[in-house]
Amino acid sequence: MPIQGYVDYRKREFCNDVQCPVQLELNSEKPGSDEYEQIRQTCRDDCRFTTWHFHHWLIDKGYLIVKPE
């Protein structure tokens, strides 16, 4: 649920912004194809970035992490 005056994080925004090589391969395939799913498995099981990278990217981009009460 978006907060008025703010934008939500878009799916894979980080991956595309840092030009992750796995994401670049994924972008060249048709979503749902066998090739796409095989490449996507790398993201699930062996991401090349850490949560530290992602968290600091969020901070650098001005994102806030919010949680309802």
| Domain assignment present for 2 | no
54 is in which domain, residue-wise?
Answer: 15-60
Query: Cα–Cα distance between 35 and 15 in angstroms, integer?
Result: 18
Nearest to 17 by CA among 64, 49, 52, 65: 49
25 domain residue, yes or no: yes
Decide if 1 is inside a domain.
no
* Entry pTM: 0.83
Q: Is residue 42 part of a domain?
A: yes
Residues 1 and 34: their CA atoms lie apart, in Å, by 32
Q: Is residue 4 part of a domain?
A: no
Number of domains in the chain: 1
Q: Give residue 68's pLDDT band: very low, low, confident or very high (50, 70, 90).
A: confident
Q: What is the pLDDT of residue 49?
A: 96
68 belongs to a structural domain: no
Alpha carbons 7 and 3: distance in angstroms, whole number: 7
- In-domain check, residue 37: yes
Tell me which residue of 3, 7, 20 sits closest to 62, measured CA to CA: 7
Residue range 16-44, pLDDT digits in tens = 999 999 999 999 999 999 999 999 999 99
Whether 8 is covered by a domain: the verdict is no
